[in-house]
Structure 1
Amino acid sequence: MTVTVVVGNPKAGGRTTAAGTALAEQLTGAAPDHVIELAELGPGLLGWGDEAVGAAKKTVQASSLVVFASPTYKATYTGLLKLFLDQFEGGTGLKDVVAVPLMLGGGPTHFLAPDLTLKPVLSEIGGTCALPGLYLVDSAWDGPELAAYVERWKPVADALTALR
């Protein structure tokens, strides 16, 4: 099983990366095989045909489980993540990929954002989105909410990835 974390934070290596990596580790019992920091792809995301973006896309498509992690900006995921997701074909771009939406924010106000904004896009491009989105307050992302989510949804992630 190949596990990838896609990080849509304009600042690489922050809490969004840590939370995405922790979620992937706890859902699968191992460190993710790949962590894709979209900030490192830079201007290549603005067009089509960039080699680094194409390689990142292929990595995601070859994965069994992908955590799509983003900070919350203006009540939704970042434009950086949107640019990357636009690279995928509708309906089939994430075929056979279990997609887990994760968003971090400054407070609980936007706790529905992963399910209302990110999950529909992941579904539209063919991701299997059987797990609910996870929203974490960024100052306490490693608190009990993460553990409770994993306890509840790890069996579902295990069952879905076993089918791949």
Structure 2
Amino acid sequence: MAVTVVVGNPKPASRTLAAATLVAEGLRPDETPEVIDLVTLGPGLLGWGDPAVTEAAGRVAASDLVVFASPTFKATYTGLLKLFLEQFDGGTGLAGVVAVPLMLGAGPAHALAPDLLLKPVLVEIGATAALPGLYLSDRTFQEDGAITAYTERWRPVADALRTTEKATNHA
């Protein structure tokens, strides 16, 4: 599997999931992304060794491109996403994965949150997070053109990173 969407919204089938899927499809229009809606993993995220969580983490680590998405909650990403990210070893857990931090919110006050709060964690666990984070309005993302503008601008970079990561990790 090459493209995965990880959604840390406590509501299943959320707008966050819809936005993240559109971003993944825009960056890799040739592939259907696999979706991991973390709310479905429930209490298994609270510890280590849960088979469903371990399997989901394995799928993410084996991906080429992952969109990590969260609503803005208390000025940052959700605890649900944090619990999942804790499943990965520091420095190597997401080696070879190109990660895109995505957050949604009601207004522009937290527009830097994907880059300031989510991206450093992704880098800490080994992901390549070279693309800028994306912050979307949770009410207008489907019609405001922000996803199209972002994916058209950054698709060539994501493709180049994927090629580089594959060559580096398979050499």
Residues 1-164 of structure 1 aligned to structure 2 (within 5 Å): 2-142=2-142, 143-163=144-164, 164=166
- Distance, in Å, in 2 between the alignment partners of 1:91 and 1:162 is 20
* Alpha-carbon offset, residue 62 of structure 1: 0.5
TM-score (norm 2): 0.93
Contact 1:5 1:32 in 2 (8 A): no
Structure 1 residues not aligned, in runs of 5+: none
TM-score (norm 1): 0.97
Contact 1:4 1:36 in 2 (8 A): yes
- Distance, in Å, in 1 between the alignment partners of 2:48 and 2:16 is 26
Contact 2:28 2:155 in 1 (8 A): yes
- Distance, in Å, in 2 between the alignment partners of 1:32 and 1:100 is 16
- Distance, in Å, in 2 between the alignment partners of 1:31 and 1:128 is 20
- SS of equivalent residue, structure 2 residue 139: helix
Q: Which moved further from structure 2: 26-35 or 75-84?
A: 26-35
- Distance, in Å, in 1 between the alignment partners of 2:17 and 2:31 is 13
Task: Show CA shifts across 1:70-126 (max 9, x none).
Answer: 000011000000000001000000000000000000111100000000000000000
- Distance, in Å, in 2 between the alignment partners of 1:30 and 1:74 is 36
- Distance, in Å, in 2 between the alignment partners of 1:30 and 1:48 is 34
* Alpha-carbon offset, residue 31 of structure 1: 4.5
Q: Provide the identity percentage.
A: 66
Structure 2 residues not aligned, in runs of 5+: 167-171
Contact 1:90 1:126 in 2 (8 A): yes
- Distance, in Å, in 1 between the alignment partners of 2:151 and 2:41 is 30
Contact 1:21 1:31 in 2 (8 A): no
Instruction: Return structure 1 stretches of 4+ with deviation > 3 angstroms.
Output: 30-33
- Distance, in Å, in 2 between the alignment partners of 1:57 and 1:42 is 14
Report how many aligned residue pairs link the two structures: 164
Aligned residue type for 2:21: T
